[in-house]
């Protein structure tokens, strides 16, 4: 199955992860800035004859829009998603605790891409999404995620609640976000194996998803805004987990 990658981040991430899957990479020869120069230097060495100059009309046709930064690629779709059990076992084998992001009903590709970006930055082991009522990885998600969609496991499940219970049985503590919760995200110990569960903007989590969570927390809000964008809220929660995990490491490990 073919996939279109748009922009520097998405194409360069694929170059690092699986260059062989890139079938054709097109670039704008009229863009002669340093960023394009650095990209071409890397791409020419790896891709050879798979690298092609293309005019703006061709790039627009491939990307479907003009926000392509002068780089578009045709690639074979690669699968980085694994099972929840494998993710947990991998984390344990590396003497770590699993960190999941569970997204319920995030259908906007820009929000989904931004969630993947913050998840990758915070060291999330996998993102879990339902098969229905969710955005899927496409060119927009790939570009917004700045390449994160190429490397972070995204596990699509048929029944989200059933998969959440599977995670709980494996020792993962599921923490949902709710504006009305008594505890704040800063009141919890987030250093164990956990899953941060986020709902769509406006609707939030579905009822069964909320009821399946082990605990509900809120993000403290001080201004007049009632809620945060789902990707921003995900970042707040995930980076608090990362902060706590770093603080718990031996001093030598922090500086390595």
47 is in an annotated binding site: no
3-state SS string over the chain? Answer: CEEEEECHHHHHHHHHHHHHHEEEEEECCCCCCHHHHHHHHHHHHHHHHHEEECCHHHHHHHHCCCCCCCEEEEEECCCCCCCHHHHHHHHHHCCCCCEEEEEECCCCHHHHHHHHHHHHHCCCCEEEEECCCCCCCCHHHHHHCCCHHHCCCEEEECCHHHHHHHHHHCCCEEEEECCCCCCEHHHCCCCCCEEEEEEECCCECCHHHHHHCCEEEECCCCCCCCCCCHHHHHHHHHHHHHHHHHHHCCHHHHHC
152 is in an annotated binding site: no
99 is in an annotated binding site: no
Binding residues for S-adenosyl-L-methionine: 199, 219, 228
Binding residues: 199, 219, 228
């Amino acid at each position: 199955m073919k996939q279109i990658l748009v922009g520097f981040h998405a194409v360069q991430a694929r170059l690092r992860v699986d260059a062989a899957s890139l079938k054709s990479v097109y670039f704008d020869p009229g863009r002669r800035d340093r960023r394009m120069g650095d990209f071409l230097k890397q791409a020419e060495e790896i891709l050879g004859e798979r690298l092609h100059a293309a005019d703006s009309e061709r790039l627009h046709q491939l990307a479907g829009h003009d926000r392509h930064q002068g780089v578009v690629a045709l690639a074979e779709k690669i699968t980085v998603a694994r099972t929840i059990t494998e993710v947990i076992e991998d984390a344990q084998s590396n003497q770590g605790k699993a960190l999941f992001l569970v997204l319920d009903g995030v259908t906007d590709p820009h929000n989904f891409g931004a969630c993947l970006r913050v998840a990758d930055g915070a060291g999330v082991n996998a993102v879990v999404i339902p098969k229905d009522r969710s955005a899927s990885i496409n060119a927009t998600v790939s570009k917004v995620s700045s390449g994160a969609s190429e490397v972070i496991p995204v596990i699509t499940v048929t029944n989200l609640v059933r998969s959440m219970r599977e995670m709980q049985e494996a020792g993962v503590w599921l923490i949902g976000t709710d504006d009305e919760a008594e505890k704040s995200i800063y009141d919890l110990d987030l250093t164990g194996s956990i899953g941060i569960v986020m709902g769509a903007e406006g609707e939030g989590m579905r009822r069964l998803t909320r009821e399946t969570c082990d605990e509900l927390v809120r993000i403290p809000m001080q201004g007049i805004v009632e809620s945060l964008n789902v990707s921003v809220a995900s970042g707040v929660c995930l980076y608090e987990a990362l902060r706590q995990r770093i603080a718990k490491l031996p001093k030598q490990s922090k500086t390595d």
